[in-house]
Chain A
């Protein structure tokens, strides 16, 4: 058992034992290699099944919306930023939460790892900076830093921004020189190439809405794609409808997205949905110097009015 897992378990057990919280939300092991399962512990016994590894990719803030109890929650950097978002947007109150922060050294990209092998991965074991992958005919040790998820490799806020306790020492916050290199690459494409890029990107979308449902920002009681009166979007597989869904969802997340990557993690078709949200994150950063969820005082720029707004349209 790694130290963080041990610390998380101990902290969660004591929170439940002394009734500081009613439940603790964390991760437990999955049933297939390279997976984890969001899990709610109500008893100290259950809290002893919490784990922490580089597959805790989903964003647990997604499980907070509308809950009434006193909640303990395990939060890495991006989860904590989404918790901050939730607090700002009145989806949960700070007083309800006891945040066990986990300084994060990044999650690994299971698709990238799988693509290294022609056979299926049957076992995965983790070591501090590396991991061992087993298939039917080979065993390979790979370095974590080479297989970080794209969003983790450009993350500058790996430490939780709000927390009550930490389950590990803070990690050094890297300064990424060109953190929007991926967006710049797409921006530099010609009009036709861009069209091709996004066409290709969404080609496999099956409209399961896993991206939306894994996203802590997508808590609308009725999403615009599910409205029937008026019906904004067709429900079939028409490419216009599929694009409309992704574009509008991304815009709805502008200034709120923490680039946690839960959308990409959830997509069964491995679509890099972040190509949309990243562009808006860049724009919001360029225009307002804003990064979402860094504190619980400031509202995102697109839901505030400022007389000094650099844009003319609002005046």
Chain B
């Protein structure tokens, strides 16, 4: 019997400070055993438990992409006991990763479709994974147009800035980077909240378009009417939720929304599915 609680041992290979306020760091892990890396085969939108023995575990979306081999990456916001401890760890330290967990984005359903990616703040991690995955030459022609709106408080709070600006230059993805505000006179992208940029820049829905929305509750709340006004049906809006979790495998009981277990049945749901639940997220 495989023990789903046992993490794969990993070593911290690289730590990048991800935002100007240093509240987010990107950790690159390499597996101590090659076989574990093969077993940790994931799709974009899945998450894993980062496991620090003696401290605890924390569920974090996988920021690296399935096409990136030899490592996994997570961008972690410093907030509780485990994440604070993780932020103090150094390259070379050994810890654990348990996963991949959750359903991930519905890639079968998304194939051949226009994809709209809407992200806010530090919920961009699995979206980064998805974009890298879709832009991979082996995958790009499996999707039609890709439109992205990504917003943060300020330019320095945008994650993966180098990549964002690279993607800006490409013509096979339409980037709409935005910040709530900035005093940088050289800022050449958008200023304004995500929902407003969505309404202004995102194409109207047709039957072949899906929108993937990840962000803080307030952004999600106001993005939804924006999408609605563009003709998106609830079945075309895909969201990734973040309820409090412990086990990550659907057993410990705390992340449920109605009968759905966010860790196992989710974290990705369509708005249509969520409408049938009590909405406790």
Q: Give A contacts to B, CB under 8 Å.
A: 228-229, 231
Chain B residues within an 8 Å CB radius of A231: 81
Would you call B53 an interface residue if the criterion is a C-beta within 8 Å of the partner chain's C-beta atoms? no
Q: In the complex, what's the smallest C-beta–C-beta distance from B212 to chain A, in angstroms?
A: 32
C-beta contact mask, B58-82 vs A, less than 8 Å → 1, else 0?
Answer: 0000000000000000000000110
Smallest Cβ distance from A227 to chain B, in angstroms? 10
Chain B contact surface mostly: helix
How many angstroms from the CA of A231 to the CA of B56 in the assembled complex? 12
| A-B pairs with beta carbons under 8 Å apart, 6 shown | A228-B80, A228-B81, A229-B80, A229-B81, A229-B84, A231-B81
Q: How far is the CB of A230 from chain B (nearest CB, A)?
A: 9
CB distance from A224 to the nearest CB of B (A): 15
* Minimum C-beta distance from A234 to chain B (A): 12
**How far is A231 from B80 in the complex, measured between Cα atoms in Å?**
12
Interface residues of B in 26-84 (CB under 8 A from A): 80-81, 84
Q: Closest residue of chain B to A228, judged by CB?
A: B81
A160 to chain B, nearest CB (A): 41
Which A residues are CB-close (under 8 A) to B84?
A: 229
Question: For residue A229, which residue of chain B has the nearest CB?
Answer: B81
Q: With a CB–CB cut-off of 8 A, which chain B residues contact A228?
A: 80-81
Report the separation of the CA atoms of residues A311 and B81 in the bound assembly, to the nearest whole angstrom.
39
A231 to B54, CA, bound (A): 12
Chain B residues, CB < 8 A from A229: 80-81, 84
User: Distance in Å from the Cβ of B70 to the closest Cβ of chain A?
Assistant: 35
CB nearest to B56 among chain A residues: A228
For B80, list chain A residues within 8 Å (CB).
228-229
CA distance A234 to B270 in the complex (A): 39
The answer for the CA separation of A218 and B80 in the assembled complex, in Å, is 25
A229 to B56, CA, bound (A): 12
Min CB distance A228 to B, Å, is 5
Smallest CB–CB gap between B245 and chain A, Å? 15
A231 to B81, CA, bound (A): 9
Q: CA of A231 to CA of B84 in the docked complex: distance in angstroms?
A: 14
The CA-CA distance from A229 to B84 in the complex, in Å, is 10
Question: CA of A86 to CA of B81 in the docked complex: distance in angstroms?
Answer: 33
